[in-house]
Each structure stands twice: as C-alpha cells, then as structure tokens.
C-alpha cells in the first residue's frame, strides 16, 4: 500500500518524507529500481538530487526517481521555510546484478477444521517476476497466478536450468522442486505443521539478460489458531491511556498479539489480517476486562494478566488459572513468554523447556503444556541458596528468558545489601536444576523495576530500561553502561525533550531499535556503546508499534479507528544511510564461517572443527572472536593463518573442539559423566563491529552427551543366513538353564524385538558384528569391548579364549564373579556390569594373577574371543549385547540378537529306547498269547463234531463253524 505522507506542523524540528520500492519490501534496491519519493506539506519546493540520478518531476512532492550509478546518494526535499530543518538521507543503490525476485503462493492441503498432522504437506507454487514490469497484484502480493511477463521469464530461466530451493532458517532443511508446469510454475512440497517456518528461497547462479534472481525471504503459512467470539462477549483492553503493547511468538513470528486501550487483536499472518480477542461477559466483569496489564502467547492460547490474576483464552474457552493450577491469585505482577526460539536446543535431561514465566514479588512459576505450572523458588529460598545475609530484603520485579534457552533470569531488588537499593540478576537453569548469582549489580531507584531483555548471544548480554533510561551489559557484564546518543552525553529521552521510551526491539543480528513515545527512533547495536538517531518515519500523533520482520527489516504497525495496518520499514537502508553520513563504516570487508547447524552432537571420541575468515584493512588489526558459554566441557585447539595482499588482510582461523577425558580412570564414573556432559554454546564474531555491519549472528550448541537417536545394530556376518520363521514359542532344555530343572520349559519368541534367527553351524565359533547408527545413518563399526548374556537363562554356550589366552595381567571380570558380588541384591542384569564398573585385566596389578584359565567373557571386533556352542544338541539362543568400554559412548548401547545352531546328529536316549523296546515287545507277546488261546478254543469245538453227519446236522455244524469264525 502507498505510504501516507505526514506533516509535522510548526512545532516539528525535521521535515518528514519517505521512499518506497514498487514491491514494497526493499529486498531489491538497485540502479534498476524505480524509487517512489513522497512528501506532504504546503512548504515543499523541490527535490535536491545528485546529478547521477533522474527524477520524473522534481517540483512534485510525490514523484519517481532512478539512479544509474551505484553508491550512497544524498536526497532531500527543499522547503520554503527556515523553521524546519532539512532532513537529508544517504540512500544506498546497489549494482543491478540482481533484477528479479521469487514469487510464492501457498496452496494448503489441510482442512481448516482439522489440524494438520506431521505428515501433511502444503504445496508452494513459485515463479520469477520482475518488480519493474510486474502487474499490481504481484506487487501487492495478492496474485494467485503469474502474469504473462512472469510466465515467459520463468520459462526462460527454466530452460537455462534454474531450480528454486526452499531452505529453512533453524535447521537448514532444504526442499526442492518436484515439477515445473507448462504455465511457468515450480511446485515444492513443504511440511504443513512445522516449527521451522522462516525460510529463504534461492536458486542457481543463472543470469538472463545479465540479471540474476535475488534470494527472497518467505515465511511458511501455518494452520490458523481460531478464537471464536460470541455475541455478548466483551473486549479485553488495557487501562485508558496505556501504551500499546505487542508480543509475538518466538518460533512463529507471524503469530502476534497487540494490546491497546480499546481492545486486544490477534494475527496469524503478521497483521495482514487480524481479529479481536474477547472474553465472555458472564466470566469476566467489564471493569476487569478493561484492566489487562500484560499478555503472553502460549502454545495453545493466550495468557492475560488482570488484577493480579492470570486468565487464559483458548479457542473455545476462557477461564481463570488460579490455585487449582498451582498459581497464586491476586498478587501476580508479571507474565512473560520466550523471546528466542528454543526448538533446536538440546536438553541434557530430556525434559521439555517451559514456555512461560509467571511471577509475584516473592515467587516464580514456570508454565508448560496442558496448563501445568511449577513453582521453582521464592525469595526466602533464594536468600538461602545464594548466600544473601539474613537481614536483607529481596523482591522480584522482572523475569526474562535468556538467549540460552534453558536459563531464566530474575531481576532481584535488594534492600540492605548496600547503602542504597541494588539490582542483582539471578538465573535458573532448567536443564541442570541450578541457581546462579550472576556477576551483575546496578544501583536501583528507590522504587520500581526496569524491563529486561537478553540479546542473542553465547555469553549473557542484556538490556535493562525504564521510561527514561537504558542500560546495557555485554558478555557476562564485562562491558556495561548507559549508552548516550552519538557524539553527545545525553540519553535518548533527554535528546527528545523528555519523551519516554515506548518500545525496544532486538533482532537475531544484534540490531536494536529504540522507539520513543513521540515515534522518534534510535538505533543501537550489540557490542557498541552509543546510539544514533534515525530519520523520522512517522508523525508523533500516530499510534504505532514496531513488529519484527524476519527478513531483517521491521514492520511499523499503525493502529487507528479504521483498524491495524502494517507497513515495511527499511531498517538496513536507514542505518546504512545514517552511518554513511557519520562516516561510520563497517571495520571489516567480509566475514564468513562454516557453522551451518544449530546443534552438533558430540559423543565420546567425537570432535568438531569450525573455520572462520575475516577480511579487513591491514591497519585495523581485527581477529575472529570466539565466544563460548561453558568452555569447561570441551578442549579447544586453534590455528590461525594470516595473509596480506594489496593492503588487505585475511585471517583464516580453525577451532577444533574435542574431549580429553579418560573415563576408565575415573573413581566415580557416573559423577564424572555428569560433570563432563552438557551443552556448550559457541559463537564466532569479528572482534570489532560497526553500525553499518550486517553480519547475522549465529549460535551453535555443542551437545556433549548421548546423541538422541544413536543406537547399535547387529549385522549378519558374511556366510551366515538370517531366517524369520513363523513360530512364536520354542523349548528350552531344563538341564541347561541357570536354575536347572529336570523338565524342559517353553518360552515365547518376539520376532519384532529379537529379529531373525542367525543360522550358525554348531562347530563354528561366532562373534557378532556390531554397527553404530544415528537414526538410519550408519556411523561406524563398533571396535570397543562389549559383553553379552543369554536372556532366557541358557548356560550351554561358552567362549573359546581364556583370560590367559588374551593376555590378561590379572583375573578379568566375568559374569560369575559379578553375580556373586550382587547375589543378595535385587538388581537387573543390565546394571550388574557396564562402563560404570568396568576394570581392565590388562593393567598391571600387584595382586596375584589368580586363575587365568577361566573363560574370558569380554568380546570385541578385533580380538579372537568368540562364542562356542553345545555339542550335544542344537538350540535357539537369544542374547543381549551391551557396550562395555567406558570411553566409547555416553549412550547406554544395548540390543538383542538370536542364534540357531544346526548340524548336530543327536544320539538317542538309551533308557528311553530300552523302555520303548520293552513296551513294544510286551505288546507283541500279549497279542500272541491272546491269539493262541482264541484259536485253541476254536479247534477244541471242532474236535467233537462227527465227520459224516446227517444232512440236517451238516447244516447245523456249518452254522456253528461260521459263528465261531465270526467270533474270532
């Protein structure tokens, strides 16, 4: 939208004018760009421009400008008055190497009534457009399809091999185009429900008509979080005359909330649109609804601080969070959500980080998901933990999340610690459960507190401010003070004739903008000690608030009776122009490093190496400054290479981080592991910076501990087949179990847990091959020592090497001795033997050698020790493997595998054979005896029959004979 021109009137000290680009985002500002100049007022005469620029109408307050030569060019309006001071600007015009931009349209595939799952996707439709020749809908970002020019331009680039890539900011995840349509469109699928929504779209370095495509920032759309209002709901507002208050989500900056004295407004799209948030009138009285003093965004709703109580607005509900939720009632003075996104921070303890902090003057609660709140301390406990004298009085005033996501800082006022009231900063680490009194103290006013916000830095650095003053503390309070306005000794409040500080915005690059109540803005930068005045952009009568733009600039949100309006503010260009006029140049020419990831996981034996390069004029003596939080966790080795050519110095520095701890020598393994694991934060920066420097600050977390998806896998050795059968149970021989039994037992076989059966010939020794994986990524083969045991209790296997065979200097640990030591304890086999109590038998000892003929129960990949099997019968063995080496991994690496031996021709059981033979023989003899007596009876009957009877008797005899045969 066209920016309105503002006139200050006779009471103003500066003329007010602005500039904009056709597409409004200032991403492209080159010698090819048409610049719109805008001034409003009756005193305007003409524009004063350099000779290298051309203007459409120099006497018109609204006109267009082009500058054909790159550089910082001075522009100003000439006025017909001496009461207003001329307001000139040095505007930087870049060379026209980049002429085109990426245009993105999101086609969401989810149903608005059903939240998307992690597997759902949204489709991005991309094309290339030229802002100088684009249609209006492309310039105001409302187009849904490319113009004819954009379609032709995109096809030309596609023919040249162009292909866009969407790369996320937090995890550097890349998404590639999977199709290019005939309409000149690229299609890219990205997650629909992601916490990594800030992206940059870049393509290949391909030119068309000597012009490239500029990398373009883009924010992925998210499912809208609906808040439904009813007809009788009432507005939630701050007390009349209160300052406008704005908050936005740390991980989803397009989700924001504005609190005014006439309502609360919520947005999911960065204030392109917004909706008022209301409360049910039967829950909240109107006098309370108009007394909102603070708001905070939670993951599943909005928190309101009203009259010392916390209320929560969810999609379809509004309720009070009181004693039923373990929160205080009536005395809460503050609520705060996170400022920096913590989604990539690796927690050592594995627990989730809190999302909000709620506090009274005496205690602090942390809020988690599902409306869970935990009280972490009160002032009396702090007094004891931190060693404050008993006769002092402590009170809490401000709570803020540190740039280290696991730490929460408390601004504490102490009466009695000194001759005057003092401020101290106390921090609590959620991961380590530890309280620390930081090296910070500041003389405090007799009453009241200061606001506090931390900068994005490896070492704790913060700003404190109230209405009239601002105080900085850098790098663990090694540099601190009240920053004055450049080349003066006055504060911003004094410089603006008593206007108070309304808002301070800090971005990821260390840029700080101080907005006063009268809309005058100052610029401050991390590591610098003074502020500079920025040219006027808004009239003091406007109700405005600053809103962070992830692309590196800012939004100015204007709030009036017609609604909420967002406009882009070219912070980078304004700072560059002001610095140029003050001859304040960036001290270095270029700075590069290879820290790409937010988190690097370091297990035992791992190392990571970073490099950084800085170029500068040879008389400045700059260097790469490596800043580390918790440096005790890792050793460092640094190498610097220095070159000079044509008065330009180049310093290349490599920094290697590694661990140098021998855990096998530790007297308390678990204590040593606890002390040497955790999260180290690393930041590399130039040793000197300037207001015009645009280097993005990059923090990286080195997690020393077990990588989250690290595990071991048993690989099938060559020549061995692994078969998955269809049975679910099998028999165990009772006489070969730990607890021997005369009867065999039947046990279950879990195919999903134990895997397939490796078929091993009974005479072949066997040693499993163990591979280390991170998720599905192969890391290496395991060379370390490991142990195993048969989880079903079988004992009919052994080892083919004795302690003496492997070269032990003393008796080695084995299952028999360790089980004997724990025979009266209820303990799992997993915990009996492991890295925590491993003792090597190869270390020299003054003890007797004892019996080295015992089997050696430890295996490794390079040794000769292997499993041997029962020679009498085949069987199924289910083993559990555990890595034993204390210097191999922080992870408790265990897994299962199963073996089936084959090839044994089993000898019959003699006793059973004899018994079965006797049974068969007895049965045969019994049948024989019965047959003898039966036939004897038949023949005895036939013995008394006349051999020549009468015919009638012959028939009778025949019938009798047939009857006997039938009986037989």
The range of the structural domain enclosing residue 687 comes to 589-704
Q: What are phi and psi of 462, to 5 degrees?
A: -150, 165
Digit-coded pLDDT (tens) for 881-934: 999 999 999 999 999 999 999 988 766 666 667 887 788 888 888 888 888 777
968 within domain boundaries: no
Say whether pLDDT at 702 is over 90: yes
What whole-number distance in Å separates Cα of residue 411 and Cα of residue 112? Answer: 42
User: What are 279's two structure tokens?
Assistant: 């409360």
Angle, nearest 10°, between helix axes 951-967 and 910-943? Answer: 170
> Within this chain, do residues 546 and 565 fall inside the same structural domain, yes or no?
yes
760 within domain boundaries: yes
Q: What is the mean pLDDT of the chain?
A: 88
Q: Residue for token digits 């430890």?
A: 858
H helices present in 129-256, as ranges: 136-139, 148-159
Residue ending a domain, choose from 61, 93, 125:
93
What whole-number distance in Å separates Cα of residue 894 and Cα of residue 126? Answer: 47
Digit-coded pLDDT (tens) for 132-186: 999 999 998 889 999 999 999 999 999 999 999 999 887 888 999 988 887 789 9
**CB 304 within 8 Å of CB 298:** no
What whole-number distance in Å separates Cα of residue 492 and Cα of residue 469? Answer: 8
Say whether pLDDT at 235 is over 70: yes
> Within this chain, do residues 567 and 507 fall inside the same structural domain, yes or no?
yes
> Within this chain, do residues 764 and 811 fall inside the same structural domain, yes or no?
yes
Q: What is the pLDDT of residue 764?
A: 93
Q: CA torsion sign, 930 to 932 to 938 to 941?
A: negative
What whole-number distance in Å separates Cα of residue 593 and Cα of residue 616? Answer: 15
What whole-number distance in Å separates Cα of residue 44 and Cα of residue 60? Answer: 8
Longest CA span, the chain: 169
> Within this chain, do residues 622 and 570 fall inside the same structural domain, yes or no?
no
What whole-number distance in Å separates Cα of residue 461 and Cα of residue 457? Answer: 7
Chain centroid to Cα 86, Å, comes to 49
Q: What is the mean pLDDT of residues 798-810?
A: 92
Distance set, CA 469 to CA 202, 484, 530, 560, 832 (Å): 42, 10, 13, 28, 62
Q: What is the pLDDT of residue 842?
A: 87
Q: What is the pLDDT of residue 119?
A: 65
Q: What is the pLDDT of residue 916?
A: 76
> Within this chain, do residues 70 and 190 fall inside the same structural domain, yes or no?
no
Q: Residue-wise over 783-803: b if at least 16 C-beta within 10 A, else e? A: ebbbbbbbebebebbebebbb
3-state class of 276 per DSSP?
strand
> Within this chain, do residues 729 and 869 fall inside the same structural domain, yes or no?
yes
Q: What is the mean pLDDT of residues 500-518?
A: 94
Chain centroid to Cα 920, Å, comes to 76
Residue 71 CB: number of other CB atoms within 10 A? 15
**CB 471 within 8 Å of CB 519:** no
Residue ending a domain, choose from 704, 725, 742:
704
Digit-coded pLDDT (tens) for 39-62: 987 788 999 999 999 999 999 999
**CB 231 within 8 Å of CB 208:** no
What whole-number distance in Å separates Cα of residue 312 and Cα of residue 303? Answer: 5
DSSP string, 285-331: -HHHHT-EEEEEEETTEEEEEETTEEEEEETTEEEEE-GGGT--SS-
> Within this chain, do residues 822 and 784 fall inside the same structural domain, yes or no?
yes
What whole-number distance in Å separates Cα of residue 254 and Cα of residue 259? Answer: 16
Q: What is the pLDDT of residue 41?
A: 75
> Within this chain, do residues 80 and 122 fall inside the same structural domain, yes or no?
no
Digit-coded pLDDT (tens) for 266-297: 999 889 889 999 999 999 999 999 999 999 99
> Within this chain, do residues 725 and 802 fall inside the same structural domain, yes or no?
yes
Digit-coded pLDDT (tens) for 532-558: 999 999 888 899 999 987 666 799 999
Q: Residue for token digits 């740039």?
A: 403
249 within domain boundaries: no
Q: Which of 664-668, 821-825, 935-939 has the highest mean pLDDT?
A: 664-668
Q: What's the whole-model pTM score?
A: 0.86
111 pLDDT band, cuts 50/70/90, is very low
Q: Residue-wise over 339-356: b if at least 16 C-beta within 10 A, else e? A: bbbbebbbbbeeeebbbb
Say whether pLDDT at 641 is over 60: yes
20: β partners: 36
5 pLDDT band, cuts 50/70/90, is very low
Which pairing describes strands 699-704 and 599-602: parallel, antiparallel, or unpaired?
A: parallel
Q: What is the mean pLDDT of residues 410-425?
A: 94
Distance set, CA 963 to CA 938, 941, 948, 953, 958 (Å): 10, 12, 20, 15, 9
83 pLDDT band, cuts 50/70/90, is low
Digit-coded pLDDT (tens) for 651-683: 999 999 999 999 999 999 999 999 999 999 999
User: What are 710's two structure tokens?
Assistant: 């690290």
Q: How many helices (H) and strands (E) does the chain have?
A: 12, 64
Q: What is the pLDDT of residue 259?
A: 95
Say whether pLDDT at 948 is over 50: no
What whole-number distance in Å separates Cα of residue 457 and Cα of residue 735? Answer: 66
Q: Residue for token digits 């310039």?
A: 139
Digit-coded pLDDT (tens) for 773-801: 999 999 999 999 999 999 999 999 999 99
What whole-number distance in Å separates Cα of residue 6 and Cα of residue 916? Answer: 113
> Within this chain, do residues 683 and 784 fall inside the same structural domain, yes or no?
no
What whole-number distance in Å separates Cα of residue 310 and Cα of residue 763? Answer: 73
714 within domain boundaries: yes
Q: Residue for token digits 């205080």?
A: 328
Radius of gyration of the chain measured on its C-alpha atoms = 41
> Within this chain, do residues 521 and 631 fall inside the same structural domain, yes or no?
no
Q: What is the pLDDT of residue 523?
A: 95
Q: What are phi and psi of 814, to 5 degrees?
A: -150, 170
Nearest to residue 887, comparing CAs of 607, 673, 631, 715? 673
Q: What are phi and psi of 320, to 5 degrees?
A: -95, 135
3-state class of 632 per DSSP?
helix
540 within domain boundaries: yes
Domain total of the chain? 5
User: What are 373's two structure tokens?
Assistant: 């709140």
What whole-number distance in Å separates Cα of residue 573 and Cα of residue 89? Answer: 10
Chain centroid to Cα 441, Å, comes to 33
Chain centroid to Cα 459, Å, comes to 20
3-state class of 826 per DSSP?
coil
Q: What is the pLDDT of residue 3?
A: 31
Q: What is the pLDDT of residue 953?
A: 46
57 within domain boundaries: yes
Residue ending a domain, choose from 75, 93, 111:
93
**Cα angle, residue 357 at apex, residues 354 and 358 outer, rounded to 5°:** 140
Say whether pLDDT at 360 is over 90: yes
DSSP label of 531: B
The pLDDT > 90 percentage for the chain reads: 68
Nearest to residue 12, comparing CAs of 536, 558, 494? 536
Q: What is the mean pLDDT of residues 458-479?
A: 95
Q: What is the pLDDT of residue 964?
A: 45
752 within domain boundaries: yes
CB within 8 A of 2, min separation 6: which ones?
20, 38
106 within domain boundaries: yes
User: What are 125's two structure tokens?
Assistant: 């439709």
**CB 109 within 8 Å of CB 189:** no
Q: Which helix (H) or strand (E) holds 603?
A: none
Q: What is the pLDDT of residue 944?
A: 53
User: What are 401's two structure tokens?
Assistant: 């999340």
> Within this chain, do residues 529 and 599 fall inside the same structural domain, yes or no?
no
Beta strands in 889-958 (DSSP E): 894-902
Q: What is the mean pLDDT of residues 354-367?
A: 96
Residue 813 CB: number of other CB atoms within 10 A? 20
Residue 591 burial by CB count (10 A; 0-12/13-18/19+): exposed, middle or buried?
A: buried
Q: Write the Ramachandran bin of 240: left for phi over 0, alpha for psi from -120 to 50, otherwise beta.
A: beta
């Amino acid at each position: 939208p066209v920016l309105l021109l503002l006139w200050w009137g006779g009471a103003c000290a500066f003329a007010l004018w602005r500039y904009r680009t056709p597409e409004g985002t200032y991403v492209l500002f080159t010698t090819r760009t048409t610049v719109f100049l805008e001034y409003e007022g009756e005193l305007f005469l003409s524009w004063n421009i350099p000779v290298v620029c051309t203007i459409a109408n120099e006497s018109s307050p609204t006109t267009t400008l082009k500058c054909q030569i790159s550089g910082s060019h001075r522009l100003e309006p000439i006025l017909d008055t001496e009461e207003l001071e001329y307001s000139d600007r040095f505007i930087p015009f870049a060379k026209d190497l980049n002429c085109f931009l990426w245009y993105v349209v999101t086609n969401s595939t989810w149903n608005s009534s059903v939240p998307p799952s992690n597997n759902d996707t949204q489709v991005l439709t991309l094309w290339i457009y030229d802002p100088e020749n684009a249609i209006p809908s492309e310039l105001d970002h409302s187009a849904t399809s490319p113009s004819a020019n954009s379609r032709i331009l995109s096809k030309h680039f596609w023919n040249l091999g162009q292909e866009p890539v969407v790369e996320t900011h937090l995890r550097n995840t890349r998404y590639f185009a999977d199709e290019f349509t005939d309409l000149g469109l690229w299609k890219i699928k990205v997650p629909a429900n992601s916490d990594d929504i800030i992206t940059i779209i870049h393509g290949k370095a391909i030119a068309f008509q000597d012009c490239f495509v500029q990398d373009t920032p883009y924010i992925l759309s998210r499912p809208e979080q609906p808040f439904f209002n009813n007809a009788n709901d009432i507005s939630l507002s701050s007390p009349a005359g209160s300052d406008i208050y704005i908050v936005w989500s740390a991980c989803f900056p397009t989700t924001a909330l504005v609190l005014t004295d006439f309502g609360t407004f919520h947005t999911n799209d960065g204030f392109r649109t917004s909706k008022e948030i209301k409360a049910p009138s039967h829950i909240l009285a109107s006098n309370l609804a108009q007394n909102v003093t603070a708001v905070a965004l939670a993951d599943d709703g909005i928190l309101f601080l009203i009259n010392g109580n916390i209320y929560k607005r969810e999609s379809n509900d509004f309720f009070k969070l009181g004693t039923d939720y373990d929160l205080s009632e009536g005395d809460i003075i503050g609520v705060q959500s996170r400022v920096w996104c913590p989604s990539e921070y690796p927690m050592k303890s594995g627990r989730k980080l809190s999302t909000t902090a709620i506090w009274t003057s005496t205690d602090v609660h942390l809020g988690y998901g599902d409306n869970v709140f935990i009280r972490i301390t009160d002032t009396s406990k702090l007094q004891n933990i931190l060693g404050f004298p008993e006769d002092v009085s402590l009170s809490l005033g401000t709570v803020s999340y540190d740039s280290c996501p696991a730490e929460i800082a408390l601004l504490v006022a102490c009466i009695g610690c000194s001759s005057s009231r003092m401020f101290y900063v106390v921090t609590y680490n959620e991961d380590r459960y530890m309280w620390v009194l930081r090296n910070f103290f500041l003389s405090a006013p007799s009453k009241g507190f200061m606001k506090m916000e931390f900068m994005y830095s490896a070492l704790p650095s913060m700003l404190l401010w109230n209405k009239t003053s601002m105080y900085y503390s850098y790098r663990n309070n090694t540099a601190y003070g009240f920053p004055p306005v450049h080349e003066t000794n006055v504060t911003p409040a004094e410089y603006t004739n008593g206007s108070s500080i309304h808002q301070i915005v800090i971005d990821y690059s260390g840029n700080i903008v101080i907005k006063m109540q009268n809309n005058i803005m100052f610029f401050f930068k991390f590591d610098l000690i003074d502020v500079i005045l920025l040219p006027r952009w808004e009239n003091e009568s406007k109700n405005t608030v600053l809103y962070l733009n992830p692309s590196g600039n800012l939004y100015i949100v204007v709030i009036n009776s017609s609604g909420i309006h967002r406009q882009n503010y070219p912070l980078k260009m304004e700072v560059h122009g002001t610095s140029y006029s003050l001859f304040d140049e960036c001290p270095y020419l270029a700075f590069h490093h290879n820290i790409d990831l937010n988190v690097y996981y370091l297990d035992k034996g791992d190392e990571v190496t970073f490099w950084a390069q800085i170029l500068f004029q040879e008389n400045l003596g700059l260097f790469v400054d490596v800043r580390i939080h918790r440096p005790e966790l890792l050793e460092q080795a640094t190498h610097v290479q220095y070159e000079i050519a044509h008065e330009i110095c180049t310093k290349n520095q490599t920094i290697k981080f590694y661990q140098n701890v021998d855990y096998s020598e530790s007297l308390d393994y678990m204590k040593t592991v606890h002390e040497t694991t955790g999260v180290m934060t690393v930041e590399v920066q130039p040793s000197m910076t300037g207001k015009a420097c645009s280097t993005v600050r990059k923090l990286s977390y080195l997690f020393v501990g077990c990588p989250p998806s690290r595990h071991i896998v048993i690989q099938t050795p060559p020549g061995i087949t692994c078969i998955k059968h269809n049975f679910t149970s099998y028999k165990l021989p009772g006489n070969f179990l730990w607890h021997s039994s005369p009867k065999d037992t039947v046990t279950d076989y879990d195919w999903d847990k134990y895997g397939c059966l490796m078929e091993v010939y009974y005479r072949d020794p066997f040693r499993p091959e163990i591979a280390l994986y991170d998720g599905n990524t192969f890391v290496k083969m395991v060379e370390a020592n490991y142990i195993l045991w048969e989880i079903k209790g079988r004992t009919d296997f052994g080892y083919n090497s004795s302690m003496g065979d492997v070269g032990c200097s003393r008796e080695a640990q084995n299952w028999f001795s360790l089980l004997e030591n724990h025979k009266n304890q209820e303990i799992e086999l997993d915990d009996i033997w492991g890295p925590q109590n491993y003792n090597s038998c190869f270390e020299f000892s003054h003890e007797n050698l004892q019996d080295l003929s015992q089997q050696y129960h430890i295996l490794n990949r390079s040794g000769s020790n292997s499993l041997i099997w029962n020679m009498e019968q085949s069987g199924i063995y289910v083993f559990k493997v555990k890595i034993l080496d204390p210097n191999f991994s922080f992870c408790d690496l265990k897994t299962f595998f199963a073996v089936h031996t084959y090839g044994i021709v089993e000898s019959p059981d003699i006793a059973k054979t004899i018994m079965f033979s006797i049974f068969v023989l007895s049965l045969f003899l019994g049948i024989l005896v019965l047959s003898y007596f039966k036939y004897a009876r038949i023949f005895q009957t036939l013995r008394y029959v006349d051999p020549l009877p009468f015919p009638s008797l012959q028939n009778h005899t025949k019938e009798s004979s047939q009857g006997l045969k039938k009986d037989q």
